[in-house]
Amino acid sequence: MKQLFVLDPIELIDPAKDSSAALIEACYRASIEIWVCTPSDLQAKGAKAGVVAKTIIPEPWVTLGEPQNLSLNEFHCIWMRKDPPVDEAFLYATHLLEVAERNGVLVLNKPSSLRAWNEKLGALRFSNLMAPTLVASRVNELKEFAHEQGEVVLKPLGGKGGQGVIRIGDAAKGLDALLELVTSQEQMPVMMQKFLPKVIEGDKRILLVNGDPLGAINRKPKNGDFRSNLALGGKAEATTLSVREQEICKKLGPSLKSEGLFFVGIDVIGGMLSEINVTSPTGIREVERLANIPLADQVIKRLLKDFP
């Protein structure tokens, strides 16, 4: 069996922290032949998709083979694990992967769903599980919503890792100017959500595999910040799922599974769904370390069971 990982340059990946590295190592332990490439290595000649890829031996990290020109039809499974931003290059890569998908190759996560499920906007499908939320470009509408909620957070729709997320009160001086800036003079929509004070207690990352939760961590913000993202200094701690969080997973699971979103990370704050991360969810290493479970091996085991 052969699997291909489409990701950022392997030289930039920290195997001690990276979920893609964890999955690659789990494939290796399962005796799966592993190849890696970047999105720019994908190609199509007519209706046949190909790739210039390298074999990888991840233990010890990392030994790469020489680049080879292969058909994507040679792979049982292709993992699309390129980090955001979801820019033109990312989108074109999903179209090239669909060429292989049409020929029967399993692509995770499903390319069309990667395009359709923006990591902020995708959660709106389950808005009844979220804090009050507005997505808009018009300053007056955003101001009115901020006045209704009292304190809000602003999120750029293409952001990642908490970058560019702003907490602001409705009476803040310069609110108009800030909204003009973040909307590029009312040309770009942003997400505004009611601020949830419980974020100080943590932002829970729950990892779902083919619709089922397999692991979770609680991420607490560093002193002086409200953003709990690990990339911004948040601290991970062991956790279990509350009844409410189990209910959220149960409501999301069937939709994620039916749309080919095999490996997903959702964020929950104070029992409210915040985001649905589908591009390259993180958290495997932290779950493995804090919960002492072989999560990456469980993911690959589930893959081989559900897609023999």
Active site residues: 120, 155, 205, 219, 227, 267, 275, 277
* β-pair type (166-169, 33-37): unpaired
29: three-class secondary structure by DSSP? helix
Q: What distance separates the 2 farthest-apart alpha carbons in the chain?
A: 60
Distance CA 245, CA 275 (A): 13
Helix (H) or strand (E) holding 285: helix 284-291
Distance of CA 22 to the CA centre of its chain: 15
Using alpha carbons, select from 142, 135, 149 the residue that is nearest to residue 178. Answer: 142
**Helical residues (DSSP H) of 53-163, grouped into ranges:** 88-102, 111-116, 139-149
